[in-house]
Amino acid sequence: MKAMIAHGIAPLMVALLLSACAAPSFRQPEVAVPVAFKEAPPAVQIAADGSRWQVARPAEQQARGEWWLAFQDPALTALMDEAARNNASLAVAAARVKQARAIAGIAEADRIPQVGVGFGAQRGRPSALEANLPQGSAVAPRTTYNASLSASYEVDLFGRVSSNVEAARQDAGAVEASYRSVLLSLQADVAQGWFRLRALDAELDTLAQTVRLREESVGVNQRRFDLGDIGEFDLTRAKTELATTRLEAVGLQRQRATTEHALAVLLGRPAADFTAGAAPLPASAQMPVIPAGLPSTLLERRPDIAAAQRGMEAANARIGVARAAMFPALNIDAAGGGVGGTVAEVFKWSSRSWVLGAMLSLPLIDGGRNKANVTRSEAALEEAVGAYRERVLVAFAEVEDNLAGLRVLDAQGVQVEEALVSARRSAELARKLYDAGRSSYLDLLDAQRNLAAVERTAVQLRGDRALTTVALIRALGGSWDAPAAANTFARN
């Protein structure tokens, strides 16, 4: 009968032990990856290095490259260097990386036996009964010394330790990817802040030219009014246009000031200590053409997607930790040392003592705590999978948005160039007709107003193209060049 019971229990125990093993094998969730970006021009629907579609794998440690050098702007490069050194948010992210690596190191420590030494002394006086003496006997106090060496080790029977180490490693990887995401966002914010400043400077230049034209117009109309050639209506209309243009310039100066202050924060400087000199974005400024590559490569290069990937793997490993808590844990402890009345006696062979033990512990009644913890861990993995899929979809949408933005800006640029040619010719003809007395001042004013509006639109489109180009680089995960070297984030 006993043999039959043992024969029936053995396979059951083996099955239970096997089912308890560590975390389940991680399975990459399925994500619908398009063959190509819808908004990408056909010429750039392959990666810059000519690579074809491949199964996505995290590659957030690949060097992003100094992508801002493609703009050929030395001032921007200097700002990038300063922001990398002094930005507060980046320093916070770097500190979190150090913490995560330290936590991973703590988890790794459980893989090896924990060994300790001790040395101490104590003085006391036992009772006569404890000293095996007649009651009332005088017992002298005595001093004892002891030295010990101890060791403890948890045998990783069911993968609790290995799963915990894996979870800590993936957490550290997620934090490092988040650091790179903060770095990329910082670089993009600095570039966009700088180009926004330059676009505002160019727009202020355009308004300054318009102000000068309005001032000349007021002067001419004042003289003609004084001579009686025109009525007061033309003069007051010219003054109104001058005041309105100056008002717009003051509003742009306010925008420039707030943009400059925001850039100072990114550089880690007090706003009062940073002044960016005027650097208008010229019409000849050429923006780099950014190849979008294949959607699958986006999953490898975006650090925020890599962070979500690591989060899934950490959640998967924690399922193993939760499952292992439902099965026996084996701890081995050993200690040895010596006790004596003097320090010299402690280290005598005759004073030695040792103990070796093993403890196998198994939860019997826990009120469903461990089962609930497994359910919680599995739900946490489902949450991480959902967050990963959403992050991927958002990444695809951001790339499509910026590709579409650049496409539309290109089309608008063609139209605004044609409008500029027509508006300049119209203003020129209106001036000649007005000077010849063949048209009213309102006709001249309308032509000048139209020209000024088109010129401002051209400047704004120029700035929008720079901002959208940077946004596309951010959406693609940084530099579009082929990876060249491993990331060199400091590990000290």
pLDDT over 60 at 20, yes or no:
no
- Higher pLDDT, residue 416 or 133: 416
- Higher pLDDT, residue 141 or 81: 81
Arithmetic mean of pLDDT, 54-59: 44
Q: pTM here?
A: 0.81
| pLDDT bucket at 245, cuts 50 / 70 / 90 | confident
pLDDT above 70 as % of the chain: 88
| pLDDT bucket at 446, cuts 50 / 70 / 90 | confident
- Higher pLDDT, residue 302 or 125: 302
pLDDT above 90 as % of the chain: 37
> For position 41, what pLDDT does the model report?
66
> For position 82, what pLDDT does the model report?
94
- Residue showing tokens 């009964």: 129
> For position 435, what pLDDT does the model report?
81
> For position 483, what pLDDT does the model report?
39
> For position 55, what pLDDT does the model report?
40
Lowest mean pLDDT segment, chosen from 11-20, 51-60, 87-96, 161-170: 51-60
